Structure 1
């Protein structure tokens, strides 16, 4: 009986351990949705994320100010280059990339909001244990709120403030550790080295990656 009680206490201690900031897997792929508080932007995208090579690809469709769009962007942060890819006519635009690579991490200075169950805790397999964190955006431009899974640090949702759109909500679904086709993180063979002369709109932050096509 004492052994059973001891084991129960040890398990309770493990479960009660305070969550810590974490980093998501270095290679991830899946689907994301991005929507804004003022309802001007909504987009649904397949994403590929490579924290080792500092590469991201977004293949999206959505609406901005009631206008539909599709967009395919390959972002090579180490080269400071992005490619707008048009598979339908095998064309490509190469542009300078001024954004910094943003790893999927919970920063060390983040504050824990709480630990929650997404779904139900009534039975096995009915819920997902997540940790929600908050903190300041770089340069104190606003707040963010991020939720990740307790096990694996897989992103679930992220909210952050902007002056233009209010709160922006990013939700991650169907996440997979790894990238099934790494060649999608390389420019297609029809992309050339010449940079586009039309560089008036250069991505400068996460949200702007969804706007240059409008």
Structure 2
């Protein structure tokens, strides 16, 4: 009997030590950078993210080759709409979304691939411990790196035939969002709130 109890306890301890995906914040905002080498595309800006309602907004400076553009983009996957405001011309286009919802959170079925330290290990306040995960969503491969303590995303990579490969980095994160961040720009739909 003692042997059976010992084996059950040993199995429970072993399972408890298996890394499980952490739970990322459902809403946050901050700054980002994107790089897509295939299309010679770079973007920098601010964003607001709401996984609960599948909404994402980015105000960005894009660099494609030698050209620069400035956009305010609001992706409302809950309504299947994209609002794109050109900040130079103030021209707004509203289209049906064709790209999939890309969660910037660690999915529960993600595979843990290891952990490491960004910064100078062993020096207080000069490093953060991160975990690496990967998997597929809608048949498309992704990877995500998140902080160990709060599961805040640091880097996310995604590939699909429609988007190609995209690498996005997150920084200056605040664990909240302003609800107004998901209101379409006035130039797109006066007096509309979502």
How many residues are treated as equivalent by the alignment?
176
Most deviating of 147-156 and 129-138: 129-138
TM-score by length of 1: 0.71
TM-score by length of 2: 0.77
Alignment of 1:56-67 (within 5 A): 56-67=56-67
Q: Greater share of strand residues, 1 or 2? A: 2
Aligned match of 1:109: 109
Structure 2 CA distance, aligned partners of 1:54 and 1:136?
A: 18
Do the aligned residues in 2 keep the contact of 1:40 with 1:165 (CA within 8 Å)?
no
Deviations 1:76-120 (A, max 9, x none): 111111111245665432222233433323233322211111112
Structure 2 CA distance, aligned partners of 1:123 and 1:59?
A: 35
CA RMSD of aligned residues (A): 2.7
| Structure 1 alignment gaps of length 5 or more | 1-12, 194-214
Aligned match of 2:172: 174
Aligned partner (choices 147, 156, 159) of residue 158 of structure 1: 156
Pair 87,162 (structure 1): closer, same or farther in 2 beyond 3 Å: closer
Alignment of 1:44-83 (within 5 A): 44-83=44-83
Do the aligned residues in 1 keep the contact of 2:99 with 2:162 (CA within 8 Å)?
no
Do the aligned residues in 2 keep the contact of 1:77 with 1:99 (CA within 8 Å)?
no
Do the aligned residues in 1 keep the contact of 2:70 with 2:86 (CA within 8 Å)?
no
Pair 159,53 (structure 1): closer, same or farther in 2 beyond 3 Å: closer
Structure 2 CA distance, aligned partners of 1:120 and 1:62?
A: 32
Aligned match of 1:7: none
